[in-house]
Each structure stands twice: as C-alpha cells, then as structure tokens.
C-alpha cells in the first residue's frame, strides 16, 4: 500500500498547530501556576509557625483564615476575573489602551466592594464568631487576628486585578518571579519574627503582610515604570464611566467563583458534624490538602484557557478559540490522569507525608480512590470554567454551579453520608456527583458553543465600552 501524501501533509500540519498552541498555553499556564502554588505555600508556612506558638493560636488563626480565604479572597478573586475577560479580549482586538482603563475600573469596583461589604466583616469578626457559638477565648483571639487580615484584603484588590491585567497581555513571568520571592521572604521573616524575636501572632501576620505587599509594590513598579507602554497610559477620568455594566460582570464573576469555594467549605463544615469521626476527619483533611495542591496547578490551566480564549475572541478568530479550548482541555485532562494514577498507586503510603498515625494513614488509603476522582475532576472543571471566563459567560456558570452544587451535590452528600450511613465517604461521594454534573453540563455547553456568535458578542462588548472621547494618544495605541 502506498501512503497518501495528502494525509501526511494534514497530519504534519495538525501536529504543528497543536505544538504551537501548546507553547502558547504553557507560556501562560506555567507562570500562572507559580503564584498560586507560592501563595498556597505561604499559608502553609504561616500555619506551621503558628502551630509552634500554641493550639489556641492555631485554632483562632483557622477561624480568621475562613474569613480571609473563603470570603474575602473568594469575592475579590472572583470579581477580578472580569478584568481577565475584558483585558484578554481587548488585547486580542489590539485595543491596548483599554486594558489600562479596565484595570482602573476594576480597582474602583473592588475597592468599593472591599470597603463597604468585606471590611465590616473583619472589624466585627469577634462578635460574628461569638454569635456562631465559638468558645469565648478562641472567638476573641480570632477577632484580633482578623484585624491583621485587613491589609491582606486590600492586597487582594490590587494583586488579583494586576495579575489578570498582565496575564491578558502575556506578561505574567514577572508575577512568577515576584511570587517566588514573596514566598522566600515570608519564610525568612516568619522564622525571624516568630522563632527568634518571639513576636507571636503579630510576627507571623507581619511576615505575611510584608511579603505579600512586596509583590503588589513590585507589580506597581512594573506597570508605572514603563514596562507596559501600550496598555498603561496613566490614570484617567474615563475609568469612572461605564462602571455599571462592568460591575454586573464583576458580580457575576465573583458569584461564580464563590459558589465553588463555598461548596468546598461546606464540605469541610459538614464533615465536622460527623459523630465519632476524629480519625476520619483527619484523613479527610489530608486528602483535601493533597487535592488543594493539585488544584493550584489546575488554576494555571484555568487562567491559560481564559487568556487564550479571550485573546482569540478579541482577534475575531472563532476557529482558533475553538481549537485552543480543545488543546487546553486535552492537556489538562492528561495531567489530571497522571496525578489520578499517582494517587491510586501510592494511596496506601501517601498519608505518611502528613502523619505517622497508622489509623489515619489507613483511612487515607481507603479514601484514595475518591481522592483520585477529585484530582481528575479538578483538571476538567478548571479548564471548562476558564473557557467560560474567557468568553465572558460567568453568569451562565453561576447558574450551573447553583443547580449542580447546591441542589444536587449537597443533598446527595447528606443522603449518602447520614441516611445511607456512609459518613465522610458518602458525603464526599455525593458532593463529587455535583462536580461531575457541573463538568458534564459545562462540557456540553462548550461543545455546542457557536464560536462565531461568541466573537460577535466580544466585539459588541468591546465596542460598547470603548470610550468615544478617547484622546489621540489612545487612538494611536490601537494602531501600533
């Protein structure tokens, strides 16, 4: 049989397209993973040094951390994905100067949200924890620690928006370097302040605040110092126009992400109500910790998919957006399968990374199959969410999350956990069913998407919010 030269040409061309697209994906994904892993590592460092002080401090920090990570972080991170959508599409459309305007609009919206909605929660944290029935000494100390989280609240406002602004124009390597430096500085300062100077909680929180704000300062220097000449043209009053439609997109983005973060929080909360389950809960927390580390890597693909889709939609290339979504999905799923396999192979040993308690290790081994499924679902879920963010479809994902997580996942978890009597296994299985359903729905929506229509919507969005009274310098930036 003779080989068909046409098939060889097509195969060669396809491999070349996949290779080029993969390079674009990893140019965004890898630098995006570094700050996520570094930030997660910073939390681990703070947790470790507080454990060296006392169990009371550790318990109080855990409560304060709920406000910080599960509420403030989730709201601001979610709302900042609107910046990711708009900046990515503006960059693809070569409306470079609009990226700086979108960044300033996001600062305004997020600052108002942080001050009016989130700041009071931190100021009255002690009263909130007391009402929730926490012990008075833990509630009091947690209220004090929550005040230390206020600088972190405003760090999130600037850090997440700037990260999305830089990622949208493929300049995220600077974020990776700053994040690694922040992690090392936090480790050093925590050791000096807590171990050497014995400053206790003040030292641990000061180290965290200083290390993180150095990242924000570095980002400001990078932007204002002239490294973004096309996209940053200085502060402008135009940023105060068209705030309402961007606020709607920001709120949809925040709701979308918070529904996912709070879903995991409810999982942890419900596990705490299981009877006689101290060993099971310890094993469960280890599994969630492992899944959390892997989820940080998956967030890199969420960001990469969002940036690639928004860039191609901004350019008006529907086929490139569709092709990019397929390549990113396949790449992420392959990595998810790799970690899924590792969990299955080393499931009976993986618990020793966190504890020497044989009972806990044995229970982790029993949960290893559910852990492997969770790890695989992370790789699927993140890419599908990222594609939706890139297309500006956060509202749709929010509705899907509400139905799949809160009308299916949680009731099924309660049914299997308490009624059937599977306890933590049943709780986790039920809530994973919610994630599976979400992935299936988002997968179907992505598969049936009319990408030409998404190109038109992106164009309409950019033209609608394009300031007609832009000065000449702004118009020139589009022509460059």
- For residue 347, is pLDDT > 90? no
Residues 365 and 230 both lie in one domain: no
For residue 249, tell me if it sits in a domain: no
Rounded to whole angstroms, the Cα distance separating 131 from 149 reads 20
Predicted confidence at residue 166, as pLDDT, reads 93
Task: Answer yes or no: is 345 within a domain.
Answer: yes
Q: Which long-range contacts (C-beta less than 8 Å, at least 24 apart) are formed by 294-299?
A: 294/339, 294/375, 294/378, 295/378, 295/382, 296/33, 296/36, 296/37, 296/40, 297/33, 297/36, 297/37, 297/335, 298/332, 298/336, 298/378, 298/379, 298/381, 298/382, 298/383, 299/32, 299/33, 299/36, 299/382
Q: Are 370 and 227 within one domain?
A: no
Express each pLDDT in 149-178 by its tens digit: 899 999 999 999 999 999 888 887 888 899
- 2-23: average pLDDT: 72
Whether 347 and 432 map to the same domain: the answer is yes
Expressed as residue numbers, the domain containing 439 is 259-466
With cut-offs at 50, 70 and 90, classify the pLDDT of residue 299.
Answer: confident
Per-residue pLDDT, 271: 67
Q: Give the pLDDT score at 107.
A: 95
pLDDT at position 433, please?
Answer: 94
The whole-number average pLDDT for the span 86-110 is 91
Domain boundary residue, one of 208, 241, 274: 241
pLDDT at 414 over 60: yes
Of the pLDDT bands very low, low, confident and very high (cuts 50, 70, 90), residue 476 is very low
Q: Are residues 153 and 270 in the same domain?
A: no
Task: Write down the pLDDT at residue 9.
Answer: 54
Does 2 fall in a domain? no
Asked whether residue 6 is assigned to any structural domain, the reply reads no
Q: Give yes or no: residues 80 and 188 share one domain.
A: yes
Predicted confidence at residue 474, as pLDDT, reads 43
- Bigger pLDDT: 292 vs 165: 165
Residue 470: pLDDT above 70? no
Question: 84 near 167, Cβ under 8 Å?
Answer: yes
Domain count for the chain? 2
Contact 153, 144 (CB under 8 A): no
Please indicate, yes or no, if residue 14 is contained in any of the structural domains: no
Pair 422, 337 in one domain:
yes
* pLDDT above 60 for 478: no
pLDDT classification of 475: cutoffs 50, 70, 90: very low
For residues 269 and 216, membership in a common domain is answered with no
Give the residue-averaged pLDDT of 227-237.
91
pLDDT tens digits, 176-196: 899 999 999 999 999 999 888
Q: What is the mean pLDDT of the chain?
A: 84
Instruction: Tell me what the mean pLDDT of segment 79-92 comes to.
Output: 88
Residues 188 and 293 in one domain: no
Radius of gyration of the chain (CA): 23
Residues 319 and 460 in one domain: yes
User: How much is the pTM?
Assistant: 0.82
- Tell me: pLDDT of 249 over 70: yes
The per-residue pLDDT for range 25-49, each reduced to its tens digit, is: 898 888 888 888 887 777 777 777 7
Predicted local distance difference test score (pLDDT) of residue 351: 82
- State whether 265 and 383 are in the same domain: yes
> What's the whole-number mean pLDDT along residues 246-250?
83
Q: Note whether 99 and 91 are within 8 A (CB).
A: yes
130 is a domain residue: yes
Burial status of residue 315 (CB atoms within 10 A of its CB: 0-12, 13-18, 19 or more): middle
Say yes or no: 87 and 188 in one domain. Answer: yes
Q: Which residue has the higher pLDDT, 65 or 76?
A: 76
pLDDT at 83 over 60: yes
278 lies in a domain? yes
231 and 282 fall within a common domain = no
User: pLDDT category, 217, cuts 50, 70, 90?
Assistant: very high
Question: Which of the residue ranges 85-94, 104-113, 221-230 would you say has the lowest mean pLDDT?
Answer: 85-94
Mean pLDDT is lowest, of 61-70, 116-125, 357-366, for 61-70
The 10s digit of each residue's pLDDT in 391-407 is: 888 888 888 989 999 99
Cβ atoms of residues 149 and 122 within 8 Å? yes
**13 within some domain:** no
């Amino acid at each position: 049989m003779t080989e068909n030269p046409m098939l060889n040409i097509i195969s060669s061309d396809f491999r070349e397209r996949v290779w080029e697209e993969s390079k674009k994906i990893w140019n965004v994904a890898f630098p995006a993973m570094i700050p996520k892993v570094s930030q997660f590592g910073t939390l681990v460092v703070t947790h470790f040094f507080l454990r060296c002080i006392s169990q009371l401090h550790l318990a109080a920090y855990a409560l304060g951390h709920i406000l910080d990570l599960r509420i403030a972080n989730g709201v601001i991170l979610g709302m900042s994905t609107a910046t990711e959508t708009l900046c990515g599409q503006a960059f693809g459309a070569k409306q470079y100067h609009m990226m700086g305007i979108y960044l300033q609009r996001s600062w305004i919206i997020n600052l108002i949200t942080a001050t009016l909605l989130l700041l009071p929660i931190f100021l009255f944290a002690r009263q909130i924890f007391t009402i929730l029935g926490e012990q008075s000494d833990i509630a009091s100390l947690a209220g004090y620690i929550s005040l230390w989280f206020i600088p972190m609240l405003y760090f999130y406002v600037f850090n997440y928006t700037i990260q999305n602004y830089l990622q949208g124009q493929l300049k995220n390597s600077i974020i990776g370097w700053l994040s690694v430096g922040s992690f090392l500085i936090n480790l050093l300062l925590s050791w000096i302040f807590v171990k050497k100077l014995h400053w206790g909680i003040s030292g641990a929180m000061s180290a965290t605040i200083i290390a993180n704000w150095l990242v924000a300062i570095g980002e400001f220097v990078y932007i204002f110092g002239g490294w973004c000449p096309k996209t940053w043209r200085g502060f402008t009053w135009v940023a105060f126009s068209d705030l309402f439609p961007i606020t709607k997109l920001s709120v949809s983005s925040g709701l979308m992400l918070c529904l996912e973060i709070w879903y995991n929080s409810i999982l942890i909360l419900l596990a705490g109500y299981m009877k006689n389950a101290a060993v099971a809960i310890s094993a469960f927390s280890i599994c969630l910790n492992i899944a959390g580390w892997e989820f940080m890597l998956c967030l890199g693909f969420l960001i990469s998919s969002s940036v690639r889709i928004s860039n191609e939609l901004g350019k008006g290339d529907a086929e490139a957006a569709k092709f990019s979504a397929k390549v990113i999905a396949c790449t992420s799923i392959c990595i998810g399968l790799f970690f899924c396999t590792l969990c299955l192979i080393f499931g009976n040993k993986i618990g020793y990374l966190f504890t020497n308690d044989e009972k806990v290790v044995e229970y982790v081994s029993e949960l290893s199959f559910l852990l492997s499924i969770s790890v695989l679902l992370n790789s699927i879920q993140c890419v599908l969410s990222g594609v939706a963010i890139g297309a500006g479809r956060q509202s749709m994902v929010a509705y899907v999350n509400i139905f799949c997580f809160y009308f299916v996942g949680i009731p099924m978890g309660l049914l299997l956990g308490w009624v059937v009597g599977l306890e933590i296994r049943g709780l986790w299985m039920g809530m994973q069913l919610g994630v599976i359903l979400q992935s299936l729905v988002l997968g179907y929506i992505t598969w049936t998407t009319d990408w030409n229509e998404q190109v038109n919507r992106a164009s309409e969005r950019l033209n609608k919010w394009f300031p007609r009274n832009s000065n000449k310098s702004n118009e020139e930036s589009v022509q460059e």
